Structure 1
Amino acid sequence: MMCGPDSGQGDAAGTDCSEVLHRVYEYLDGEMTRDDTAKIAHHLEACSPCLKQYDLDQALKALVKRSCACEEAPVELRTQIMARITTIRYEISE
Structure 2
Amino acid sequence: MAAETGATPSDDECADVLQSMVYFLDNELDQADCVAVRQHLDSCNPCLEKYDLQRTVKMVVARSCAETAPADLRDRVRLRIREVQVRITER
Task: Tell whether the structures are fold-level matches, with TM greater than 0.5.
Answer: yes
- Cα distance between partner residues in 2 of 1:30 and 1:4: 22
Aligned to 2:27: 30
Decide whether the 8 Å contact of 2:9 with 2:44 is kept in 1: no
Point out where structure 1 has 5 or more consecutive residues left out of the alignment: 72-94
SS at 2:49's partner residue?
helix
Paired residues, number: 66
SS at 1:31's partner residue?
coil
Point out where structure 2 has 5 or more consecutive residues left out of the alignment: 69-91
1:19 maps onto 2:30 in alignment: no
Q: CA RMSD in A?
A: 2.8
TM-score, normalization by structure 2: 0.62
Structure 1 residue runs of 4+, over 4 Å off? 12-15
SS at 1:23's partner residue?
helix
1:53 maps onto 2:50 in alignment: yes
| Alignment-mate amino acid for residue 51 of structure 2 | Y
Decide whether the 8 Å contact of 2:8 with 2:44 is kept in 1: yes
Percent identical residues: 35
Bigger radius of gyration, 1 or 2? 2
- Cα distance between partner residues in 1 of 2:8 and 2:33: 13
- Map residues 1-94 of structure 1 onto 2, 5 A cutoff: 10-11=6-7, 16-70=13-67
Q: Which has the higher helix share?
A: 2
TM-score, normalization by structure 1: 0.60
Residues 4 and 29 of structure 1: CA distance in aligned 2, closer, same or farther (over 3 Å): closer
